[in-house]
Structure 1
Amino acid sequence: MNIIQRTLFLTLLGTCCSMAFAYDMVPAAKPQAATLLKNATVHTVLNGTLPHTDLLLENGKIKAIGSHLTDASATVVDLTGKHVYPGLIALDTTLGLTEISMVRSTNDTSDVGDDNPQLLAAAAYNPDSELLPTVRANGITHAQSTPRGDGLAGQSVLVNLDAWTIEDATHAATAQYHLYWPELPRVYADSERTKKAAEAYQQAVKRIKQHFNAAYRYQLSVTGKPDQKEDIRWHALAPLFKGNGKLFVHADQQQAIEEAAALARQYQLPLVIVGGYDAWRLADVLNELQAAVIYTHCLDLPERTDDPIAQAFKIPGLLKKVGIPFAIGFSDDWDSRNLPLAAAQTVAWGLTQEEALKAITYDAAQIVGATGLGAIMESYDASLVVSDGDILDPMTSKIEALYIDGRQVDLNNRHRQLYQKYLKR
C-alpha cells in the first residue's frame, strides 16, 4: 500500500476500534409528561415496605407516594405484582475507566507516581462503555468511578449510568479523595527479606505523611498569601482540608486502619475506610472520628488462614453491631453487577434484608455525600428499579424496568444481544 492507502486503512481501523467500545443503546430522553407507577410493592428503604402503592414521577423527582394517586396528564404504568426499589449504588468501581482489563489502551484507572490528588476520574470517564448497560441490567443506576494507584491516586466521581457525556452523568456529591495505604510487610523465612519488607513499608508510610504535611502547610501558606505560587497537587486538596471533601483510605488490616485514622485525626479530615476487613475491631477509634466504611469483601475468602471460613461474610453484621456506619461495595468493573448478590450474602450472616438493601442504596449515597438519592421518598430523585421478584435474590429477581431521574432506561445490552444472536444459530 502507498502512504495514502495506509493512512486511510489506519483511520478506518481506529474508527472501528472506537466503535467496538461504544454501546448501541441511546440514552433515555427526558419524559414529556409525568409518569404514574400504579399498584406496586414499594421498598422505600427508610419508611418500610408499602404494598399496593402508587408513585408519581415528575421532572426527575418523586412527586407523590400513596394509594389511588391520579394525574390526568401522566403516563400510567400498571405494576401490579411487581416490586419497586431505589436504584442501587455501586461504590469503589472502575466503571467507565476500564473496558477490557487485559488491553492496556482501554484502561485509564491510574497514573504514575503516588502523589496525584489532582487527577480526576471524571476526566477519563467513558459514558459509552459497553460495561455500563450490563451493570444497569442488575438494577444499578449509579456508580462511584474510582481511580486506582499507590498513595494519593486521585478523585472519584459519582455518576448515573445512562448519559451522553460526563457532564450529564455526574451526580452532585462531596469531593472524594482516594489514598491507597501500603500493604503491611509480610514475614518471610529469610530474616533479611523480612527486614527489607518492613523498611519499605515504613518508607511508604513516611512518604504519605510527608505528602499530607506538605499539603497542610500549603493550605496555610495560601491562606496567608493569596499570591502564593500554585502547586496543583496540594491545591487540589483544599476542599478536603476545609471539610468539604472526604478521604477514602483503602485499607483492610488493623494496623493500617489505625495509622490511617491517626493521620485523619491529626488533620481533622473526614474519613472513609474502603475494604475494611478489620474495621469492626476498631469501633472506638472509627466512631470517635465519625468515620464510615465501604466494605468490599462480602463474597471473599478469609484474609487470614486462622480466621473462620465465614469471617468475611459476617463482617457487615459486626459493623452494624458496633455502630460503625457502612455501605457494601464491590471493587471491580463489569463484576460490580454482582452488588445485589454481595448484599444478599450478608442476610444469612447477621443483617436483615432491609439493612442489606439500605447498605447498597441510602447508606451508600450518604457516604459519598449525595443527597436525595438511595431511598423512595417525596422530592428524592426518581432513580428506581422495577423487579418481578426480590432484588437481592438472583434466582427470582428479574429487572423489568429502570428509571434514572425519571427517564426509563433501555435495558438492552451486549449480553442480551449475543444471547438472541445464538438462539438463532
Structure 2
Amino acid sequence: MKKIIEFIVLSMGTVFSGAAQQTPAPSQSEPVVIEGATAHLGNGEIIENSLIMFEDGKLTFVGPATTKIARNGTQIKGKGKHVYPGFIAPSTSLGLIEIDAVRATDDQEELGEMIPHVRSLIAYNAESKVVESMRPNGVLLGQITPMGGRISGTSSIVQFDAWNWEDAAVKVDDGIHLRWPNTFRQGKWWEGEERGYQPNEKYEEQVTEVEVFLRNANAYGDGNGEDMNPAFAAMQGSFDGSKKVYVYADGEKEIIDAITLSKKAGVKNVVLVGGYHAYKITDFLKENKVPVLAQLTHNLPVFEDEDYDLPYKLPKLLVDAGLLVGLQNGEASNFQTRNLAFYAGQLVGQGMDKEKALQLITGNTAKILGIDENYGTLAEGKSATLFISEGDALDMRSNQLTHAFIDGREISLETHQTALWRKYSGKYRGNQR
C-alpha cells in the first residue's frame, strides 16, 4: 500500500510539473555583463560593439565595449549576437483566456455595456501556458486588456515571469478601453437581411449613450459613500489624466467622432487602437496629439477597392505622417501575439528603417502606455528587461533567443512548446520509428 501511495504522489507531481509554468526566476544576485553584441537600444540607435551592464535589476552601463570600466559578476560573450529591450504587447487579453472553447478558462469578458470598473489585473493568470510561450520570441511585457461591452473595463501592464498577478504588475489600472460604435455593420443573413456591410441605423443612438455616460461620469466627480457609483468612480482617472482612454475605431467618421466627443466630455489622454483608416486623417490626429496602436500587419485588406498591401504598410504610413505609433495584435488570437516582432519586420519590407520598426514594439509602445521611464529602451537607470538573440529578432529565421532577463532576473525560455519540439524532433530526424 505504501508503494502504491508513493507511486500516486510521484505521478501527480509529474502531471502538475508538466502542466504548470516554469518557476519564476529569483531576484538578480550578482552583476551581469554582456559584451561584444550589437545593441539595438529601442530609440532608433545602435551600438555595434556594445557593453551592457546591470545590477539589482537596473542597467548600470550602456555603451561601447571599448570603454574602460571594471567588468564584475557574470560575463556573457555577445560577439555576433544582438541585444534588444524586451518587446511590449499592448491591448491583449493574454492571461485572461487560455482555451477559446473552454468557458472555464475565459475571463476576458464580463456582462454589461458600460463597465469601466471591471479590472483585468485581478483575473490575470500568471501561470498561463500561452503567456509563457511569448518569452522565447522576446515578448516580455504586455497590457492585459478586458474585452466585450462598449466600455470594456480597465487594463494593467504586467511582466511575463511571475508567481501571481501581484508580482506581475508593472503599472496598475493604466487605462479604460472604449469600443466605439461602427457606422456600418454586417448584415444578419440568418434573420433575412442581405449579406455584407449595411448602414448601422443605431449609430447616432449608440454614440449618444457613450457621450451621456462620459459626461455623467465627469459630473459625478469623486463620489463616495453609500451612493458611490463604481462605474463613474472608475472613470475619474481619465478626466484628471492619470488614466488613458484607449478608443477602438477604424473608419474616418468613427475616429473623428470618438476623439472629438471624448475630449469634449473631459477625457485628457486618448489613444487610438486599430485605426484602419487613420492614414486618411493624420492631420486631425496630429492636431489632437493622439498616438496610434496600429493593428497587426499580417492581414488582408477589408474592402475590395483598397491596396492589396494596405495592412502591410499602414503603420509606416502613420509613422511617415509624424504620428507616435505602436503595434498591437488586433483581433488575432492571443497565441499570435508571439509574432509581434515579425509584424514589425514586415514593415522593413515596406521600406521602413529597421530600427524605426523596432521602436513600434519597444520605445514607442512604452511611451504610449506610460511606462517609458523604466521600460522600452536600453539606457542607464532603466529596468534590465532585455534579451539576447542569435540574429535579427525581427526576422523569424534568426529570432533565436539565448538569454532573456526581466528586471535583471534571468528567466527560463522553456515552454510546453519547446518540450514538445524536443520530444518529436528526434522522430523526424530518424532517431525513432
Is TM > 0.5 for Structure 1 vs Structure 2? Answer: yes
Q: Where does residue 336 of structure 1 map in the other structure?
A: 337
- 1:217 — aligned with what? 219
Query: Aligned-pair distance for 1:199?
Result: 2.6
The code of the aligned residue for 1:359 comes to L
Q: Secondary structure at the match of 1:172?
A: strand
| d(CA) in 2 for partners of 1:237, 1:411 | 38
Q: Structure 1 residues 262, 242: CA separation in 2 closer, same or farther (over 3 Å shift)?
A: same
d(CA) in 2 for partners of 1:241, 1:421:
53
Question: Are the equivalent residues in 1 in contact too, given 2:117–2:154 (CA < 8 A)?
Answer: yes
Identity of aligned residues (%): 30
Q: Distance in 1 between matches of 2:144 and 2:228?
A: 27
Task: Provide Cα deviations, 1:288-334, integer angstroms capped at 9, x if missing partner.
Answer: 22111000131111121100100111211210122121101113411
**How far off is 1:40 after superposition?**
1.2
Q: Which residue of 2 aligns with 1:229?
A: 227
8 Å contact from structure 1 (residues 145, 159) kept in 2: yes
Distance 2:307 2:412 in 1: 43
Q: Indicate which of 188, 200, 203 corresponds to 2:202.
A: 200
The equivalent residue for 1:7 is: none
Aligned mates of 1:196, 1:44 — CA distance in 2: 47
> Matched residue of 1:95: which SS?
coil
In structure 2, the residue matched to 1:246 is 244
Q: Take 1:36 and 1:196, find their aligned partners in 2: how far apart are those partners?
A: 59
CA distance in 1: counterparts of 2:98 and 2:25, whole angstroms:
22
Q: Distance in 2 between matches of 1:59 and 1:365?
A: 21
Report the alpha carbon displacement of residue 20 of structure 1 after superposing the two structures with TM.
Answer: 9.2
Partner of 2:384: 382
Matched, 1:348 2:326: no
Provide the rounded CA distance (Å) in 2 between the counterparts of 1:207 and 1:330: 28
Q: CA deviation at 1:185?
A: 2.2
**Equivalent residue, structure 1, for 2:49:** 52
1:77-226 to structure 2, matched below 5 A, reads: 77-172=76-171, 175-186=174-185, 198-219=200-221, 222=223
SS of alignment partner, residue 377 of structure 2: coil
Assess if the C-alpha contact under 8 Å between 1:319 and 1:326 holds in 2: yes
Q: CA deviation at 1:283?
A: 1.7
Match of 1:26 in 2: 23
Alpha-carbon distance in structure 1 between the residues aligned to 2:93 and 2:37: 33
Give the secondary structure class of the aligned counterpart of 1:372: coil
User: What is the CA–CA distance in structure 2 between the aligned matches of 1:200 and 1:106, rounded to whole Å?
Assistant: 33
**Unmatched segments (≥5 aa) in structure 1:** 1-11
CA RMSD of aligned residues (A): 2.5
Shift in alpha-carbon separation, 1:22–1:232, aligned structure 2, 3 A = farther
When the two structures are superposed, what TM-score results if normalisation uses the length of structure 1? Answer: 0.89
- Decide whether the 8 Å contact of 1:384 with 1:403 is kept in 2: yes
1:23-63 C-alpha deviation (Å, 9 max, x unpaired): 34110111211111111111112262112211111111100
Q: TM-score, normalised by structure 2?
A: 0.88
Q: Provide the rounded CA distance (Å) in 1 between the counterparts of 2:149 and 2:44.
A: 41
Distance 1:359 1:244 in 2: 23
Shift of 1:284: 2.4
* Offset, 1:72: 6.0
Q: Is contact 1:239-1:245 (8 Å) kept?
A: yes
The question of whether the paired residues in 1 share the 8 Å contact of 2:33 and 2:71 is answered with no
Change (3 A) 1:69 1:268: farther
1:25 to 1:200, Cα distance in 2 relative to 1, 3 A = same
2:256 to 255, 258, 262: 258
Aligned length: 406
| 2:366 aligned with 1:368 | no
In the TM superposition, what whole-angstrom CA distance separates every residue of 1:103-142 from its partner, at most 9, and x where no partner exists? 1111110111111000111010000001122111101110
Match of 1:398 among 397, 400, 412: 400
Please say if residues 248 and 274 of structure 2, whose CA atoms lie closer than 8 Å, have aligned partners that are also in contact: yes
- Aligned residue for 2:137, secondary structure, equals coil
The aligned counterpart of 2:73 is 74
Task: Return the alpha-carbon distance in structure 2 between the equivalents of residues 69 and 75 of structure 1.
Answer: 18
SS at match of 2:158: strand
Deviation at 1:268, TM superposition (A): 3.8
C-alpha spacing 1:127/1:227, structure 2 compared with 1 (3 Å): closer
